[in-house]
Amino acid sequence: MQIKLEQNDATTVPTHGGTGRSVAAIVAAVHAVPIGEVETVLAPLGLDRAALEPILVYCAEQRCAVDHAACPGCRRLTLSQGVQTFDDFVAGHASIESADGRARLTGTGTARLVVPSLDVLARTWAGEELWFQARRVLRKLRYGIRNTEGKRPDGALTAATPAVILVEPQLADNIGMVARAMANFGLGELRLVAPRDGWPNEKARIAASGATFIIDEAQVYPAFADALADCSYVVATTARQRDLAKPVLTPEQAVAELRRRTLAGERCAILFGRERNGLETSEVANADAIVMAPVDKTFASLNLAQSVLLLAYEWMKQSGQGSLGRVTTYESPIVAGPNTRGYEPANKAELLAFFDHLERELEAKGFFNPPEKRPTVVQNLRSMLTRMEASQQEVRTLRGIVKALVHGKGPARADR
């Protein structure tokens, strides 16, 4: 990657060596266009997507901080200068004038600034958080644009699942958030009983945040009995105790029973009540079992989407089909445990060489004082550092840190 550091007044600016453009200018340009049109910005610069990615990574990971650099127009620049408020910004200038000359602010600095208007300046003085823009573009380049067309993703939610039945839901936004929770954890069928704000509802699609296929396929029923008529096993969620002779199940127990019956070919459903007061006891009476989550006894009420998410998460967990986070064309499934990022664990020869390096430099700096405690301190250091189960790359990094602390690096080394 050809990132060069150029001096601009008192600021060091990261610049792409091949184009002469600042990193900020490139990031802002690609962020301003749809991802499908990014080549129209890159082509005049002689760049392609492959060349763009390392530039975005530099910005997204704020590597400029390591280089003690910052781009004009970036929030990092004002932060690095200790400018926290608009008053601080004004005080750092000798004068700030509007373009028409009718408004002027004075400070104690030396720079003079002309702006379109003081109103525009008040909104933009802090700069753009360019690193967030870089992360957003990177995400789109690597993973594509999130599905918002209402189409069910290929291979998603194809297995039989219990229906989620919302009884008289009051807010369309809550229905959308329920759909999102369902899509997160593999539940695919949503039934609505007399939604208060009518159906279909665009607010629900917006709140679904990509799970619009569940919203668009949702079935609406005018009456409670109609929604569960074809189901042979139904569980009802509640936070209130009910004087009913029914099994009371935890989410884990309820999902285990739902899975057993669903796999046997039964149609099953989970009932969720109104946001205001949940299910009526007369409605719970129609269920085969009650589901109650372990909660703080003094604050037991969950919102609608939280309640659905609890059961949906348990469903995915027991199915064994979930992945730890997103899996895309560019990302393979991962498993729980240390993420070595492809680096091999350090072997004992590498660790012992590092220990010798570290202890030799500590000895030279007088760290082992009094000397008779040296064996104990060395044992503790080796035990502590062995516990981290370092990779080969991490051991090389640690050795580089020790070397830099002793001899300096770059300009710091040259000054010695």
Residue 205 burial (C-beta neighbours within 10 Å; 0-12, 13-18, 19+): buried
Alpha-carbon gap, residue 141 to 70, rounded angstroms: 24
What local confidence, expressed as pLDDT, does residue 166 receive? 98
Q: Decide if 183 contacts 157 (C-beta within 8 A).
A: yes
Number of H helices, E strands in the chain: 19, 12
User: What are residue 45's phi and psi, to 5 degrees?
Assistant: -90, -5
288 pLDDT band, cuts 50/70/90, is very high
Of the listed ranges 277-286, 294-303, 318-327, the one predicted with least confidence: 318-327
- Please enumerate in sequence order all residues whose Cβ is within 8 A of that of 138, keeping only pairs 6 or more positions apart, or say none: 53, 56, 57, 60
Domain chopping of the chain, boundaries: 3-83+126-141, 163-319, 348-414
> What one-letter code names the amino acid at 79?
L
Residue with tokens 């997204």: 60
Which residues contact residue 59 at a Cβ distance below 8 angstroms, ignoring those fewer than 6 apart? 14, 23, 24, 27, 130, 131, 133, 134
- Give the architecture-level CATH label for domain 163-319: 3-Layer(aba) Sandwich (3.40)
Burial class (CB in 10 A: 0-12, 13-18, 19+), 19: middle
The CA distance from 310 to 295, in Å, is: 12
* Residue 367 exposure: Cα atoms within 13 Å on the Cβ side: 14
pLDDT, one tens digit per residue, over 203-222 is 999 999 888 899 999 999 99
Residue 254 scores a pLDDT above 70: yes
Assign 3-state DSSP to the chain and report helix, strand, coil percentages, each to 5. 45, 15, 40
Calculate mean pLDDT across residues 326-348: 72
pLDDT of residue 158: 46
205, 212 in Cβ contact below 8 A? Answer: yes
Taking only the tens place, the pLDDT of each residue in 187-206 is 989 999 999 999 989 899 99
State the Rg of the chain over Cα: 30
pLDDT value at position 146?
Answer: 53
Residue 208's CB: how many other CB atoms inside 10 A? 25
